Chain A
């Protein structure tokens, strides 16, 4: 019994921290409809700033508790000002951009903050010195429980109470609740949205900063805090219902307790467990525990998806020329160029497969790396356990990924918008966690080595030709698919679900088929990649990998079929050519993302097409 109590209390204290972060995220989402990836970075900044500020206060006035509290509050306020600065300089310009662009822009900020933190505070973990009052224990049911953790456990409910007062007893709070339901109506009633949005970012970022500062004594400030917390915070927000603060509270309790007991009972699958809970909740309640479907979210924007058109002949010829050039590289370039080209071919297919879902399918997958990774692992596991040769491995890769695509897809295609993006992310995290934690089978972090091509393909030139044939061939098949009757049906389902069903299309099935094909294609890309590298690792499935794919598609433009191809080449070129040469490549990449989103809300190919059409006078007068 004691053990249960102690685990329960441990769960409560981590629930508090989780709630602080998730409540800020959910309030920001509720009002601005922005999924703020940088929220985890604000949490991290809270910890680092508290480390500096609290220590400065202590140096000045002794290691007193009240100076700790003061330092924590100052840190939270500094973080909230940074949040407001981001809202005013960046997000304010892109509130009308598609959801995904906003998400990517905030991911750009994540990268920038990561490098800025590294530059300011260095790579070491920074623990806060712990005076005796921070180290104390309390006797509970015969066991010693850290006193600070008990204080943390109380802070969560206290903050919930304060937020309740704010939202019910102040005009700002009432406006926030109203705007969470229908911000356009709030504007039509004379409320300046910009002030409301800045206010919400102030509040939300302060909560994130507070959370980071408060966990500092029991954890230490480190550079992994941002992405590790953001995935969990997303889960809490989605499970609780986006925009619902009480929902975030319930969900953080649920998730934290699942973790507290999971780590004891099933230590191998805690991560999987968290995401399974999320998937289970979303299946029963698609909008989370206390969430509601979002009416009026985008209904009035009047955006119309442009028609996809086959490439003009000149573009087709350019493509053939580029392919011929790539295939001829072995005759005039060195080994490094061949390696880069293989990767390029892989990423073109990877991006094109994501594009099939995002563009014509209208399904924005946030975890597309899962299928890439499943393909790679499919080939590697086939080799390890069935001794499959490369030829069979390359068949195995798309099959394995496609199989998971069907299973996950069944759940995914029932949702839409942010919930869908989050569920795909959750599935990807499950796959990642399995690859990472299930060491006996997958080798965990060490991956699976020795995944080499068959003898006839070991020559780099031959493998390049093989990659080009497979990847570019599959990409062309995907394009054919977009312009087939099936592709038209898919686009009809995206543009108007009701009308598509009225003419007898089974929209969910159309999407499921597209999802599966996209997964299989990504799996093939993963398989080709695995044999090119000779190894597979869990990083193939990580969040940054999924973001890579999104960036490639968005860089090229979702609204053209050529987009992902151009995007993959541009992204990879940018990455290999410029970014890897600087020490602060993350910040450089982040800044590029932010600038690209600001400059080309339609992507490069979309921008080029708009130019081209305008030049030809196709633009409607």
Chain B
């Protein structure tokens, strides 16, 4: 569904991503694993177009080339992006935040409505008129995902959804991701938390210093203690 090949990215003159390649399949959860500063967020930002992929990089979504397009075009093609810093619109209410994310329905998918989203994230339903700035970190994390879903994406990029959340909320997050997968969405998430990843993901890509070091299924990763020890802080 999403195929990244030979992705290179720079911040100014600093070369951050080196020939990253990965593939995300429909109905699957793919996890990008790696330590702080490995390049997970940069990979996601390059896919959504917030960081410009260097010449020669290829990012195809359903066979259509996305590299070099504007973020809004990529989002409209059906790629949803949930940033690491959440980036909630703090002055806007929950309903208004959702309204910003709204895009037309997509063929073959039941369109997301606030009601359907509140079924997955019940907390949000109870604070529809609350400004985003007066919500807890966990609630904001729910809202940022719900907001992106309003665009009816077919693949969603989740940048460290469990970061900084209490264990109970992390559980809820894992349930929510499972529900999205059941809806037929493809999910690409980035994580440092291997336990969380193991709960939700089908396949993994390990990134270190901006390059892919290992990829395979999660059960396969479980059998490779050296890989885990070398690249992940477990």
A271-315 contacts to B, CB under 8 A, are 296, 300, 302-304
A174-B99, A187-B71, A190-B72 known; A304 vs B12 contact (CB < 8 Å): yes
Residues of chain A with a CB closer than 8 A to B72's CB: 187-193
Cα-based distance from A561 to B157 in the complex (angstroms): 44
Cα-based distance from A182 to B132 in the complex (angstroms): 13
* Interface range, B side: 20 to 34
Cα-based distance from A300 to B71 in the complex (angstroms): 13
Cα-based distance from A254 to B13 in the complex (angstroms): 47
A159 in the interface, Cβ–Cβ < 8 Å? no
Contact B101 A189 (CB under 8 A): yes
A156-203 contacts to B, CB under 8 A, are 171, 174-175, 177-178, 181-182, 184-193
Interface centre among B51, B101, B147 (most CB of A within 10 A): B101
B75 in the interface, Cβ–Cβ < 8 Å? yes
- Which of A171, A182, A191, A620 makes the CB contact (< 8 A) with B89? A182
**Contact pattern, B 54-92, Cβ under 8 Å of A = 1, otherwise 0:** 000000000000000011100110000101000101111
Contact B51 A178 (CB under 8 A): no
Contact A190 B87 (CB under 8 A): no
A171-B99, A178-B92, A182-B87 known; A189 vs B12 contact (CB < 8 Å): no
Residues of chain B with a CB closer than 8 A to A175's CB: 100
CB distance from B186 to the nearest CB of A (A): 17
CB distance from A596 to the nearest CB of B (A): 25
A570-610 contacts to B, CB under 8 A, are none
Contact B92 A184 (CB under 8 A): no
Contact A177 B89 (CB under 8 A): yes
Residues of chain B with a CB closer than 8 A to A185's CB: 83, 87, 89
A177-B91, A190-B103 known; A620 vs B13 contact (CB < 8 Å): yes
**Contact pattern, A 252-264, Cβ under 8 Å of B = 1, otherwise 0:** 0000000000000
Cα-based distance from A95 to B99 in the complex (angstroms): 26
B127 in the interface, Cβ–Cβ < 8 Å? no
Contact B92 A174 (CB under 8 A): yes
**Contact pattern, B 161-175, Cβ under 8 Å of A = 1, otherwise 0:** 000000000000000
Closest 3 CB pairs of A and B: A304-B12, A190-B75, A302-B11
- Which of B11, B49, B90, B100 makes the CB contact (< 8 A) with A186? B100
Apart from A189-B101, A190-B76: 12 A-B pairs, beta carbons within 8 A: A171-B99, A174-B92, A174-B96, A174-B99, A177-B89, A181-B89, A184-B71, A186-B100, A187-B71, A188-B83, A190-B75, A296-B87
User: Chain B residue with minimal CB distance to A180?
Assistant: B91
Residues of chain B with a CB closer than 8 A to A192's CB: 70, 72
Contact A190 B151 (CB under 8 A): yes
